[in-house]
Amino acid sequence: MPIWNPRIETMPRVDLEQLQLERLQVTANRAWEGVPFYRRRFEALGLMPEQIRSLDDLRQLPFTTKDDLRSGYPYDMFAVPLREVVRIHAPWGTTTTPTVAGYTRNDLQHWRELAARVLSAGGLTKDDVIQISFTYGLLTDAFGLHQGAEEIGASVIPVTAGAVEQQISIMQDFRTTALVGTPSYALQIAEALAEKGVPRTSLHLRWGMLGGEPWSQATRARIEAQLGISATDNYRISEIMGPGVSGECEEHKDGLHINEDHFLCEIVDPESGEVLAPGQTGELVITTLTKEALPVLRYRTRDLTSLNPEPCACGRTLARMARVSGRTDDMVIVGGVKISPAQIEAVLSGIEGLEPHCQVLVDRAGAVDRVEVQVEVSSGLLTGDMRHLLKTQNQLREKLEKTLGLAAEVKLVEARTLDRRRPRRILDRRKSNSGHPAQQ
Amino acid sequence: MLVLTSVVTYYGSVQALKGISLHVNEGEIVALIGANGAGKTTTLKTISGLLAPRRGTITFRGRPVGGWSPEAIVRAGISQVPEGRQVFGPLTVKDNLLLGAYPLGWRDKRARLKENLERVHDLFPVLRERAQQPAATLSGGEQQMLAIGRALMAEPRFLLLDEPSLGLAPRPSRVIFNAIPVFRQRGLTVLLVEQNARAALQIADRAYVLETGRVVMEGLAQELLSQKEVQRAYLGRGYQQVWEE
């Protein structure tokens, strides 16, 4: 898996940190000068950009939140005149006001390079035929990875998301070797192949780079087994750039290498905002180092991960982030217990017959919190013995109680009935039902 | 090879450099561009020891050289070609060049003086022709070549070039700029300060743009060449004017 940019990706950390400092200072200077939002922030703190003298001084700056970006929609956070912006994406969220992503010519060039790095680390070469099944349009995934793949020189098929049957036909006709899309979509393709009785060997797929939603190791193992591919994870965030922020190296799949010459990452405690040490899990905060159109300082991503600055066996010295384990706003406190979907999934993965898809409903009955965990079961289990079904249900209930201290009702549902696209897998209905403020 | 980290320099009570960070890797040509008064020459003088930094660090080949005397810095391998050439007018071209070798130890001098002189003459043949002429009688372009040649006589590893094209007509200016990449082939690393941003960016690998004592842009020279903001910075135009074009 060739390293796309060896000079940067294997740079000694002391040189990398000097580069980061230079670019951080440039970004702070330009944000102060050209983005009224940041100018106000600096002035409110009595801070001048030259007070950023080291990477640690970044902590003096306040965070930027998604609401800050939303309040600037569409153009208030831009640091350059619109004339210089050559691409605009607007990731439409599932709720509320969208945020905008804008790029100058240089920003686009950097994006291309970074997407190429991540794809190359994941295993893409110019001999591959790559099928991109993200939706082409305002979202950043499709175009971002498309550009990177072209940069590498692979044969790119911009299939877009669509009917699974079409994806499979194209795979067969064009002998696609690489797939890019969401893990759910990959599973849907695998399921469709099984249903139609299409032998895996009739396809030429060998590799997949999946992302856009959290997915567990168990899901990865399933996808790899069912599609016969090696699947790598990558991290993308539209408010920062899109895909290309970080990605796993295929050799080791032990953390996602962050393109640190363009993004300065910190891990903070989601409650206190305090910066945490490497290895500790917390919220990922990103500062852009080279973005011209939309520089962002200390953006709170609400994604939970940890950092590992040790060099990887693949040769890259770029720090790695752990696979995102959940969202800061996707945790709830129920009956004094803090739970996250990641924890529940971990419990699920140990029980046979359950699919790694769950939904958690939190409600309040009278004065008591009530939790229902809905889990999909594999088809084998549903058609089997009723007693076996009940046994699995009890097994899960007991395990949840024992490992998480969570007393929950378990409801087993048919496969593929839960909405995969929903980003929040914990629905807390307590806010609307009772007068008590829900603990989040 | 050369690393500046958050360097702050004052002229008396005036803060000329507000925290400059930059680096130059061995073998690179890096340009420092910006309008008048941005702090470019101040940066070079802080590196060469004519000014001492108030804060921040300067490292050359791993050694901290911030605050060293100019002679010590020349001995460490950094040579400056000052703004405005500043050749010794009454002395001959040859003597100017020989004086450039002054910082070298006596033993080194004897051995390599002749050889270095020849290399400078090869680079700028006109200096061989005018060897016995007083430097003041040379044209602007020739004086610039002499100033550069003089700096090269100290056998520097690193050359600080301050506005080599200042006051020169286009043709001699081009001769100078064409010579700079040749230095690189001879193992020299160059930090070039220039108001003529376009010319500098065309020969540099990377560049930093200064504005009132701060770095406001950095990147590959190619990337910066196409930037409207670079035009704004080097021409010293305000934001308003550029956007109203």
What is the least distance, in Å, from the CA of A26 to any CA of chain B?
5
Question: How far apart are the C-alpha atoms of A431 and A440, rounded to whole Å?
Answer: 10
Average pLDDT, chain A: 86
pLDDT of residue A142: 92
Higher pLDDT, A368 or A433: A368
Binning pLDDT at 50, 70 and 90, where does residue A229 land? Answer: very high
- Tell me which residue has tokens 């796309």: A4
**How many other β-carbons are positioned within 10 Å of the β-carbon of residue A165?**
11
Binning pLDDT at 50, 70 and 90, where does residue A439 land? Answer: very low
Query: Are B219 and A53 a contacting pair at CB < 8 A?
Result: no
Angle between the A140-152 and A105-122 helix axes, to the nearest 10 degrees?
70
Angle between the A13-34 and A36-45 helix axes, to the nearest 10 degrees?
100
B215: nearest CA in chain A?
A: A26
Longest dimension (CA), chain A: 70
Residues of B in contact with A26 (CB under 8 A): 215-218
Tokens of B196: 């003529």
Q: Which sign, positive or negative, has the C-alpha torsion B233, B234, B238, B240?
A: negative
Binning pLDDT at 50, 70 and 90, where does residue A344 land? Answer: confident
pLDDT of residue B108: 62
pLDDT tens digits for range A13-56: 999 999 999 999 999 999 998 899 999 999 999 999 999 999 99
Q: Output DSSP code: residue A313.
A: T
Residue B236 backbone dihedrals phi, psi, to 5 degrees:
70, 20
Residues of B in contact with A50 (CB under 8 A): 8, 18-19, 213-214
- In this predicted structure, the answer to whether residue A440 has a pLDDT above a threshold of 60 is no
CB-closest option in A23, A49, A105 to B218: A23
pLDDT tens digits for range A183-197: 888 988 988 888 888
Tell me if A255 sits within 8 A of A320, measured CB to CB.
yes
Query: Are A22 and B228 a contacting pair at CB < 8 A?
Result: no
Binning pLDDT at 50, 70 and 90, where does residue A433 land? Answer: very low
Q: E strands, B139-213, where?
A: 158-162, 189-194, 206-211
Considering only A286-290, A356-360, B145-149, B202-206, which range has the smallest mean pLDDT? A356-360
User: What element of type H or E holds A156?
Assistant: strand A155-157
Beta bridge partners of A370: A363
* A1-325 and A331-433 in the same fold: no
Question: How far apart are the C-alpha atoms of A193 and A186, rounded to whole Å?
Answer: 11
Q: Is A303 left (phi over 0), alpha (psi -120 to 50) or beta?
A: beta
Tell me if A359 sits within 8 A of A345, measured CB to CB.
no
pLDDT tens digits for range A251-277: 999 999 999 999 999 999 998 999 999
- In this predicted structure, the answer to whether residue A367 has a pLDDT above a threshold of 80 is no
pLDDT of residue A37: 92
Tell me if A347 sits within 8 A of A341, measured CB to CB.
no
CB-closest option in A34, A50, A80 to B19: A50
What is the least distance, in Å, from the CA of A408 to any CA of chain B?
56
By residue count, chain B amounts to: 245
Query: Are A29 and B214 a contacting pair at CB < 8 A?
Result: yes
Nearest Cα neighbor of B179 from B206, B132, B144 is: B144
CB-closest option in B5, B213, B239 to A21: B5
Can you tell me whether residue A284 is helix, strand or coil?
A: strand
Interface predicted TM-score (ipTM): 0.87
pLDDT of residue B61: 94
pTM above 0.90, yes or no: no
- Tell me which residue has tokens 């001999």: A127
- In this predicted structure, the answer to whether residue A372 has a pLDDT above a threshold of 60 is yes
Q: Output DSSP code: residue A312.
A: P
CA angle A343, A378, A344 (to 5 degrees): 5
Binning pLDDT at 50, 70 and 90, where does residue A163 land? Answer: confident
Average pLDDT over residues A391-417: 81
What is the least distance, in Å, from the CA of A45 to any CA of chain B?
19
Residues of A in contact with B55 (CB under 8 A): 53
Query: Are A81 and B243 a contacting pair at CB < 8 A?
Result: yes
Tell me if B162 sits within 8 A of B82, measured CB to CB.
yes
Question: How far apart are the C-alpha atoms of A49 and A23, rounded to whole Å?
Answer: 12
- The tens-digit pLDDT sequence of chain B (245 residues) is 999 999 999 988 899 999 999 999 999 999 999 888 889 999 999 999 999 999 999 999 999 999 899 989 988 999 999 888 889 999 999 999 998 888 776 666 667 888 889 989 998 899 999 999 999 999 988 999 999 999 998 888 999 999 998 888 888 888 889 889 888 888 899 999 988 888 899 999 999 999 999 999 999 998 888 777 776 656 544 444 444 33
B interface residues, A as partner, C-beta within 8 Å: 3, 5-6, 8, 18-19, 21-23, 55-56, 208, 211, 213-219, 223, 226-229, 239, 243
Query: Are B56 and A34 a contacting pair at CB < 8 A?
Result: no
Tell me the one-letter amino acid at A157: I
In the β-sheet with B189-194, what is the strand arrangement from edge to edge? B78-81, B158-162, B189-194, B29-34, B206-211, B214-220
Query: Are B216 and A19 a contacting pair at CB < 8 A?
Result: no
Query: Are A25 and B6 a contacting pair at CB < 8 A?
Result: yes
- In this predicted structure, the answer to whether residue A373 has a pLDDT above a threshold of 90 is no
Q: How far does chain A reach from its first CA to its final CA, in angstroms? A: 42
Query: Are A26 and B3 a contacting pair at CB < 8 A?
Result: no
Q: Which residues are CB-contacts of B127 (< 8 A; sequence separation ≥ 6)? A: B93, B97, B120, B121, B142, B145, B146, B149
Question: How far apart are the C-alpha atoms of B37 and B233, rounded to whole Å?
Answer: 11
Q: CATH topology for A1-325?
A: Rossmann fold (3.40.50)
pLDDT of residue A435: 39
CB-closest option in B22, B211, B227 to A22: B22
Peptide bond just before B134 cis, omega within 30 deg: no
What is the least distance, in Å, from the CA of B240 to any CA of chain A?
11
Q: Which residues of B121-154 are buried (b: 16+ CB within 10 A; e: fewer)?
A: bebbebbeebeeebbeebeebbbbbbbbbbbbbb
pLDDT of residue A404: 76
SS3 content of chain B, % helix, strand, coil (to 5): 40, 25, 30
Residues of A in contact with B21 (CB under 8 A): 18, 21-22, 25
CB-closest option in B21, B229, B243 to A25: B21
Tokens of B116: 């270095």
Task: Specify the CATH superfamily of domain A331-433.
Answer: ANL, C-terminal domain (3.30.300.30)
Tell me if A289 sits within 8 A of A52, measured CB to CB.
no
**How many other β-carbons are positioned within 10 Å of the β-carbon of residue A187?**
22
Tell me if A320 sits within 8 A of A257, measured CB to CB.
yes
Can you tell me whether residue A133 is helix, strand or coil?
A: coil
B210: nearest CA in chain A?
A: A26
CB pairs under 8 A between A and B: 58
In the β-sheet with A242-248, what is the strand arrangement from edge to edge? A155-157, A129-132, A178-181, A207-210, A230-237, A242-248, A256-258, A320-321, A307-308
Residues of B in contact with A34 (CB under 8 A): 239
Domain architecture of chain B: domains with CATH: 2-243 (3.40.50.300)
Average pLDDT over residues A52-62: 94
Query: Are A26 and B216 a contacting pair at CB < 8 A?
Result: yes
Tell me if A336 sits within 8 A of A103, measured CB to CB.
no
pLDDT tens digits for range A242-258: 999 999 999 999 999 99
Question: How far apart are the C-alpha atoms of A59 and A266, rounded to whole Å?
Answer: 9
pLDDT of residue A18: 96
A57: nearest CA in chain B?
A: B6
Query: Are A19 and B227 a contacting pair at CB < 8 A?
Result: no
Query: Are B5 and A19 a contacting pair at CB < 8 A?
Result: no
Percent of chain A whose pLDDT exceeds 90: 52
Beta bridge partners of A268: A275, A283
pLDDT of residue A387: 82
Residues of A in contact with B243 (CB under 8 A): 81, 83
Structural domain boundaries of chain A?
A: 1-325, 331-433
Disruptive mutation site among B214, B226, B237, B245 for chain A (greatest number of A CBs within 10 Å): B214
Question: How far apart are the C-alpha atoms of A256 and A321, rounded to whole Å?
Answer: 5
Average pLDDT over residues A330-340: 72
Can you tell me whether residue A202 is helix, strand or coil?
A: helix
Sequence-separated contacts (24+) of A267-272 with Cβ below 8 Å: A267/A305, A267/A306, A267/A307, A268/A300, A270/A302, A270/A304, A270/A328
